[in-house]
């Protein structure tokens, strides 16, 4: 795999399931299980996925920077 795109692909495969899980929990908590739960969840996930992906691309380098500054780094 080309190392140039590794960070983007890894971020996608981390943010996709997390955003799917969080959107599912949000949809079920707000409306319960109904006949429209799957369609509401899927639409919510499609909206949340790019937001989660962009947020992860911004947060991961910041988290690495903070991790590198911790005194108990391994």
pLDDT tens for residues 5-53? 888 999 999 999 999 999 999 999 998 888 898 999 999 999 999 999 9
Instruction: Give the pLDDT band (50/70/90) at residue 71.
Output: confident
**C-alpha–C-alpha distance, residues 9 and 54, integer Å:** 12
Rounded Cα distance between 70 and 12, Å, is 27
Put simply, whether the predicted model's pTM sits higher than 0.85 gets the answer no
Do residues 20 and 45 lie in contact, with contact meaning Cβ atoms separated by under 8 Å?
Answer: yes
């Amino acid at each position: 795999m080309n190392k140039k795109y590794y960070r983007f692909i890894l971020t996608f495969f981390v943010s996709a399931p997390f955003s799917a899980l969080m959107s599912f929990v949000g949809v079920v908590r707000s409306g319960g299980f109904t006949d429209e739960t799957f369609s509401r969840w899927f639409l919510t996930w499609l909206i949340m996925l790019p937001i989660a992906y962009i947020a992860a691309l911004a947060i991961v380098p910041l988290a690495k920077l903070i991790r590198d500054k911790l005194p108990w780094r391994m």
